[in-house]
């Protein structure tokens, strides 16, 4: 009892840091947590002075902490960024409507302008309606594909240069594993990039790329940040579920495994003779796409024809 | 026979019930084997199986500059896959007796019985390969500590890591090789690290033995099931940079000894069936995580995960193996940047990468080193640590050696060393590691010398 923090050697250690196993006091934890994110931003030159940045906010833990940390670092290191909150309303009763309330509270706490963009206004379909139509089998495909575009369209409306999302190290490590398991070589190479830019599209980046999910929860817990923590009522993808469980097991065997996977992912190089899909633009909506029509347009066409696939 | 039919019918009932019960290849004989989604009769199965092996060895033969008459070494653990491999190599080489593909075949087995305090596996193994009449080399893993298992053939210094994390280069201490190895492994409680060490010591020993016996090629029996497990576990251990070298069908990373994996396209199930048909008995060799729970080590956990997933989704293994085969060693790999423990390439600047994303200290706090929980750390009272985790300190000799050692490791071996908790005296790393550290030091010295006199040199380094 009464062990001192290994960094400052003054305060009592109250946490064991998930990433390193170090026993730290609260203040030192905040410091390393925030500094690692700052390092990721600076080393990768994510922003430049005067950039208008939309924070993709779902009301969940990642985006709530992201909004908090972005505002804090922007002031502490004078990035000179103009920050906005951008939320997507998928139209899921009992899930998104509640979490959007959290986003609205965040908006007031952090004093950031908020824009909510909904599936029904963009596509004419809410997720509730889509599930009614296609059932619970591949509804997550619809949601995922639509959200990506919805964020970009929201960003255009807000006239921002850049979207930051709350994807954390666990998400990225899991995606690396998933792409190996699925054999998706093109995504395997892309998924560890901290910042992606489509042709003429808005830049997207993940400041939490190296941040552990557990530490995000820890940070929110000690800072008493207000977030919404319910799983989506529509069931998650089972294959990804296996990868997630495996990753959690790996983390418990060796906590650095998450970072180690990302390190591996960054080192992967693909043989030159392997054909990768070329990225073009969708003929219908102009959004980036590797086929003639983008996935969203294909899905939407199916929905409108009443022939979901 | 009976067990195979059982296995087959079991699989048939589980998920994929094929509509046809005839062999998918000859279309006439009754199928008795199900591999993924296809059914085979015995004859066609064997034909396809042998064909996969031949395709792989022939590919490597045409690529090889030795043509025919190559002397090769077969790494033989005694497990099902190496057992099948030896049989296939034999059949392949004896097919046309007067025109043998390989001039000489040496079988090499490394005995790890010391790790579990068991009887030596060498007599059993020797007996099981006797019928081929190939020269047999039985080695004990602990003999990796002999001064002749080095590049120079007589290097007798070792690396010592003491309980206070002091790393030093020492003249070979007097303990026996067996004592040194058991002391090393007893000090490694973390099974992930232990398995890593055992594997790389074995690999280094195999390569060294092949080289000294004049073999230009080393056959390893990794099957596709094993390789897909390796692809995931290497990724999880941060070995992505060297993964293509460690899982590919063929690599010349060890220059004069090419590693070939002719079994890379066979599932472990296929190998089991083949062995049963051919009446080949394997030797059960226990390893450090045998019969342990899934979370014993990363390797063990991955095996559990992949084997389980393969049952539910029968194309898991082949998809992973195919993904792995699309990866290539990076152009930035440099031959001289070889980790002194695993001998795999390391990336420049990976230490800096690590320090930026894992912040362990606050710059303003003077006396802290932030690595107290980690054994291999720098001494206290320094402004920043020269420890294995990469705090950059060159303020005293001791941490200088530590930093030098850390610099000669790859990312994953550094993670391994971090996870070693020395509880008993000290650990001793074999002479080949010490030799590697010294070689690297010499190279850096020469580079500095060159820089010093650069303006007076009229030729490039290669010309000298």
What domains sit in chain A, N to C, each tagged with a CATH number?
A: 45-275 (3.40.50.620), 277-309 (no CATH)
Asked if the model's pLDDT at residue B11 lies above 90, the reply is no
- For B50-53, the CB contacts below 8 A with 24+ separation are B50/B88, B50/B91, B52/B265, B52/B266, B53/B85, B53/B88, B53/B92, B53/B262, B53/B263, B53/B266
Q: What is the pLDDT of residues A159-207, one digit of tens each?
A: 998 999 999 999 999 999 999 999 999 889 889 989 887 656 788 999 9
Q: What is the pLDDT of residues A31-65, one digit of tens each?
A: 999 999 999 999 999 999 999 999 999 888 999 99
> Is A74:A112 a contact under the CB 8 Å cutoff?
no
Q: What is the pLDDT of residue A200?
A: 60
Q: Give the ranges where B213-252 is alpha helix by DSSP (H).
A: 224-236, 243-247
Q: What is the pLDDT of residue A135?
A: 78
Q: How far is CA A169 from CA A144, A186, A252, B284, in A?
A: 19, 20, 15, 40
Rounded to an integer, what is the distance from CA A222 to the centroid of its chain?
22
Asked if the model's pLDDT at residue B6 lies above 60, the reply is no
Q: What is the pLDDT of residues B279-327, one digit of tens each?
A: 998 888 888 888 888 899 999 999 999 999 999 888 999 999 999 999 9
**Using the beta-carbon criterion (under 8 Å), do A7 and B370 form an inter-chain contact?**
yes
DSSP state, B280? P
The annotation status of A286 as a binding-site residue, yes or no, is no
Q: What is the pLDDT of residue B450?
A: 86
Residue in A with minimal Cα distance to B355: A36
Exposed/middle/buried for A293, CB within 10 Å: 0-12, 13-18, 19+?
middle
Q: Tell me the mean pLDDT in the region B87-114.
A: 90
**Using the beta-carbon criterion (under 8 Å), do A7 and B298 form an inter-chain contact?**
no
Distance from CA of B95 to the nearest CA of A (A): 35
Q: What is the pLDDT of residues B354-364, one digit of tens each?
A: 888 888 888 75
DSSP state, B109? E
**Using the beta-carbon criterion (under 8 Å), do B362 and A31 form an inter-chain contact?**
yes
Q: Tell me the mean pLDDT in the region B89-115.
A: 89
**Using the beta-carbon criterion (under 8 Å), do A6 and B243 form an inter-chain contact?**
no
**Using the beta-carbon criterion (under 8 Å), do A22 and B236 form an inter-chain contact?**
no
Secondary structure in 3-state letters for chain A = CCCECCCCCCCECCEECCCCCCEECHHHHHHHHHHHHHHHHHHCCCCCCCCEEEEECCCCHHHHHHHHHHHHHHHHCCCCCEEEEEEEECCCCCCHHHHHHHHHHHHHHHCCCEEEEEHHHHHCCCHHHHHHHHCCCCHHHHHHHHHHHHHHHHHHHHCCCEEECCCCHHHHHHHHHHHHHHCCHHHHHHCCCCEECCCCCCEEECCCCCCCHHHHHHHHHHCCCCCCCCCCCCCCCHHHHHHHHHHHHHHHHCCCHHHHHHHHHHHCCECCCCCCCCCEECCCCCCEECCCCCHHHHHHHHHHHCCCC
Instruction: Please give the Cα distance from B244 to B252 (Å, whole number).
Output: 12
Q: For residue B68, what pLDDT band results from cuts at 50, 70 and 90?
A: low
Q: What is the pLDDT of residue B63?
A: 59
Instruction: Please give the Cα distance from B41 to B30 (Å, whole number).
Output: 6
Exposed/middle/buried for B172, CB within 10 Å: 0-12, 13-18, 19+?
middle
Instruction: Please give the Cα distance from B403 to A266 (Å, whole number).
Output: 25
Length of chain B, in residues: 464
Q: What is the pLDDT of residue A308?
A: 47
CB-based contacts of B403, cutoff 8 Å, min separation 6: B386, B392, B393, B394
**Using the beta-carbon criterion (under 8 Å), do B301 and A274 form an inter-chain contact?**
no
Greater confidence (A60 vs B387) lies with A60
Give chain A positions within 8 Å (CB) of B362: 7-8, 28, 31-32
Phi, psi of B283 (to 5 degrees): -105, 125
Give chain B positions within 8 Å (CB) of A253: 192, 295, 297-298, 301
The annotation status of A156 as a binding-site residue, yes or no, is no
Asked if the model's pLDDT at residue B100 lies above 60, the reply is yes
**What CATH number is given for B50-325 in this structure?**
3.40.50.620
Give chain B positions within 8 Å (CB) of A249: 294-295, 301, 305
Sign of CA dihedral B245, B250, B253, B258: positive
The annotation status of A155 as a binding-site residue, yes or no, is no
Question: pLDDT below 70 — which residues of chain A?
Answer: 1, 198-200, 235-238, 307-309
Instruction: Please give the Cα distance from A169 to A175 (Å, whole number).
Output: 10
**Using the beta-carbon criterion (under 8 Å), do B350 and A263 form an inter-chain contact?**
yes
Asked if the model's pLDDT at residue B371 lies above 60, the reply is no
Q: Tell me the mean pLDDT in the region B200-225.
A: 95
To the nearest 10°, the Cα dihedral for B232, B233, B234, B238? 100
Q: What is the pLDDT of residues B243-261, one digit of tens each?
A: 999 999 999 999 899 999 9
**Using the beta-carbon criterion (under 8 Å), do A39 and B357 form an inter-chain contact?**
yes
The annotation status of A290 as a binding-site residue, yes or no, is no
Asked if the model's pLDDT at residue B387 lies above 70, the reply is no
Q: For residue B403, what pLDDT band results from cuts at 50, 70 and 90?
A: confident
Q: What is the pLDDT of residues B438-455, one digit of tens each?
A: 998 898 888 888 888 888
Residue to test with chain B: of A181, A210, A239, most B Cβ within 10 A: A181
Question: Over chain B, what is the mean pLDDT?
Answer: 84
Instruction: Please give the Cα distance from A116 to A112 (Å, whole number).
Output: 13
Q: What is the pLDDT of residue B376?
A: 34
Distance from CA of B98 to the nearest CA of A (A): 39
Q: What is the pLDDT of residue A283?
A: 83
Phi, psi of B103 (to 5 degrees): -70, -35
> Is A263:B237 a contact under the CB 8 Å cutoff?
no
DSSP state, B409? S
User: ipTM, 2 decimals?
Assistant: 0.89
Instruction: Please give the Cα distance from A53 to A293 (Å, whole number).
Output: 29
Exposed/middle/buried for B456, CB within 10 Å: 0-12, 13-18, 19+?
exposed
Percent of chain B with pLDDT over 70: 85
The annotation status of A58 as a binding-site residue, yes or no, is yes
CB neighbours of residue B68 within 10 Å:
11
> Is B401:B330 a contact under the CB 8 Å cutoff?
no
Residue in A with minimal Cα distance to B384: A7
Q: What is the pLDDT of residue B2?
A: 44
The full set of domain ranges for chain B reads: 1-40, 50-325, 350-463
Give chain A positions within 8 Å (CB) of B415: 254, 256, 260
> Is B135:B142 a contact under the CB 8 Å cutoff?
no
> Is A37 an 8 Å CB contact of chain B?
no
Q: What is the pLDDT of residue B29?
A: 87
Q: For residue B397, what pLDDT band results from cuts at 50, 70 and 90?
A: low
Q: For residue B45, what pLDDT band results from cuts at 50, 70 and 90?
A: very high
Give the three-class secondary structure for B375: coil
Place of tokens 């947590």: A33
CB-based contacts of B252, cutoff 8 Å, min separation 6: B258
Give chain B positions within 8 Å (CB) of A206: none
Lowest pLDDT segment from B192-196, B367-371, B406-410: B367-371
């Amino acid at each position: 009892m009464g062990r001192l923090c290994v960094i400052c050697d003054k305060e009592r250690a109250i946490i064991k840091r998930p990433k390193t196993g170090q026993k730290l006091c609260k203040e030192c934890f905040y410091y390393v947590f925030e500094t690692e994110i700052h390092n990721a931003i600076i080393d990768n030159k994510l922003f430049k002075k005067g950039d208008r940045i939309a924070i993709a906010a779902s009301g969940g833990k990642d985006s709530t902490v992201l909004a908090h940390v972005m505002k804090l670092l922007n002031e502490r290191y004078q990035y000179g960024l103009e920050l906005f909150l951008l939320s997507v309303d998928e139209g899921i009763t009992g899930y998104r409507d509640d979490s959007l309330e959290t986003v609205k509270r965040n908006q007031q706490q952090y004093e950031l302008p908020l824009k909510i963009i909904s599936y029904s206004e963009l596509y004419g379909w809410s997720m509730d309606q889509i599930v009614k139509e296609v059932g619970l089998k591949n509804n997550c495909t619809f949601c995922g594909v639509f959200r990506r575009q919805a964020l970009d369209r929201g960003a255009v409306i807000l006239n921002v240069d850049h979207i930051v999302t709350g994807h954390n190290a666990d998400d990225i490590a899991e995606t690396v594993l998933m792409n190996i398991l699925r054999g998706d070589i093109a995504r395997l190479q892309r998924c560890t990039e901290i910042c992606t830019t489509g042709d003429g599209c808005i830049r997207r980046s993940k400041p939490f790329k190296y941040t552990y999910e557990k530490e995000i929860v820890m940070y929110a817990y000690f800072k008493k940040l207000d977030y919404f923590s319910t799983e989506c009522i529509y069931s998650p993808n089972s294959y990804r579920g296996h990868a997630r469980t495996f990753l959690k097991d790996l983390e418990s065997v060796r906590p650095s495994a998450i970072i180690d996977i990302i390190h591996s992912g960054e080192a992967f190089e693909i043989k030159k003779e392997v054909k990768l899909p070329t990225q073009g633009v969708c003929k219908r909506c102009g959004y980036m796409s590797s086929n003639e029509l983008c996935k969203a347009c294909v899905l939407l066409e199916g929905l409108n024809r009443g022939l979901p696939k | 026979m009976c067990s195979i039919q059982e296995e087959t019918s079991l699989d048939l009932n589980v998920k994929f019930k094929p509509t046809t019960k005839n062999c998918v290849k000859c279309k006439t004989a009754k199928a008795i084997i199900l591999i993924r989604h296809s059914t085979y009769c015995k004859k066609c199965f064997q034909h396809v199986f042998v064909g996969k092996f031949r395709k792989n060895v022939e590919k490597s033969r045409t690529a090889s500059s030795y043509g025919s008459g190559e002397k090769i070494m077969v790494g033989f653990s005694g497990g099902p896959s190496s057992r099948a491999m030896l049989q296939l190599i034999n059949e392949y080489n004896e097919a046309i007796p007067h025109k043998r593909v390989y001039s000489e075949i040496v079988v090499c087995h490394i005995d790890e019985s010391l790790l579990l305090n068991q009887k030596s596996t060498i007599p059993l193994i020797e007996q099981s390969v006797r019928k081929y009449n190939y020269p047999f080399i039985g080695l004990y893993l602990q003999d990796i500590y002999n001064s002749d298992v080095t590049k120079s053939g007589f290097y007798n210094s070792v690396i010592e890591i003491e309980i206070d994390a002091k790393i030093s280069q020492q003249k070979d201490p007097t303990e026996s090789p067996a004592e040194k190895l058991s002391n090393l492994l007893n000090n490694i409680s973390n099974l992930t690290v232990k398995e890593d060490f055992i594997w790389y010591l074995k690999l280094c020993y195999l390569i060294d033995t092949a080289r000294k016996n004049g073999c230009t090629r080393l056959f390893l029996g990794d099957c596709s099931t094993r390789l897909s497990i390796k692809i995931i576990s290497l990724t999880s251990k941060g070995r992505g940079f060297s993964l293509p070298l460690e899982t590919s069908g063929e690599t010349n990373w060890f220059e004069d000894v090419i590693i070939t994996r002719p079994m890379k396209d066979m599932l472990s199930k296929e190998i089991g069936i083949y062995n049963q048909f051919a009446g080949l008995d394997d030797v059960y060799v226990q390893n450090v995580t045998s019969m342990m729970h899934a979370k014993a080590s990363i390797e063990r956990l991955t095996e559990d995960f992949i084997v389980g997933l393969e049952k539910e989704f029968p194309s898991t293994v082949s998809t992973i193996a195919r993904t792995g085969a699309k990866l290539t060693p990076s152009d930035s790999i440099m031959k001289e940047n070889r980790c002194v423990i695993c001998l795999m390439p390391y990336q420049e600047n990976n230490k800096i990468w690590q320090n930026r994303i894992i912040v362990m200290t606050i710059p303003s706090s003077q006396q802290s080193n932030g690595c107290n929980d980690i054994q291999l750390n720098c001494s206290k009272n320094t402004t920043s640590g020269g420890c294995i985790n990469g705090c950059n300190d060159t303020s005293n000799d001791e941490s200088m050696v530590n930093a030098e050692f850390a610099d000669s490791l790859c990312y994953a071996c550094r993670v391994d060393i971090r996870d070693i908790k020395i509880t008993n005296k000290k650990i001793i790393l074999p002479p080949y590691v010490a030799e590697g550290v010294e070689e690297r030091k010499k190279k850096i010295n020469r580079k500095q010398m060159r820089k010093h006199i650069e303006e007076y040199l009229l030729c490039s380094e290669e010309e000298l």
